[in-house]
Amino acid sequence: MQLDNATIMRELLKVGAQVEQADLGHLTPLSIASLRGQSEQVQVLLQAGAPVDARDYKQMTPFTQPSRAGPANPGRQGRSEGS
């Protein structure tokens, strides 16, 4: 059985993975998923309470950074920054 990334992410969250934990570049899981254009993971993280206002080393939030996947930032779906 092969699990998709969103399923794996849900399982990690169940066992205590921290949605607000940032890496050395101050990128949170939400920032990384948004950058990669992973809209399903973005939704999982938002439902888990991931901070939408966390800023990376460039002072960008998950919703203001450009997506590497194309012009549409998946983190913007159904949300606006600060809501």
Residue 70 has pLDDT above 90, yes or no: no
**Confidence band for 80, pLDDT divided at 50, 70 and 90:** very low
Residue 63 lies in a domain: yes
pLDDT at 78 over 50: no
- Largest interatomic CA distance in the chain: 40
38 belongs to a structural domain: yes
Per the structure, the count of domains in the chain is 1
- The pTM (predicted TM-score) of the whole model is 0.74
Within-domain flag for 82: no
Token output for 40:
């399903």
Quick check: is 14 in a domain? yes
Domain contains 34: yes
Q: Is residue 9 part of a domain?
A: yes
Nearest to 42 by CA among 53, 33, 32: 33
pLDDT at 63: 84
CATH number, domain with residue 28:
1.25.40.20
Contacts 24+ apart (CB under 8 A), 26-31: 26/54, 26/55, 26/56, 26/57, 27/56, 28/54, 28/62, 30/54, 30/62, 30/75, 31/56, 31/60, 31/61, 31/62, 31/65
Is 73 inside a domain boundary? no
- Report which of residues 67 and 15 the model is more confident about: 15
Contact 18, 54 (CB under 8 A): no
What range defines the domain where residue 13 resides?
Answer: 5-68
Reported as a single tens digit per residue, the pLDDT across 16-50 is 999 999 999 899 999 999 988 889 999 999 999 99
Residue 24 lies in a domain: yes
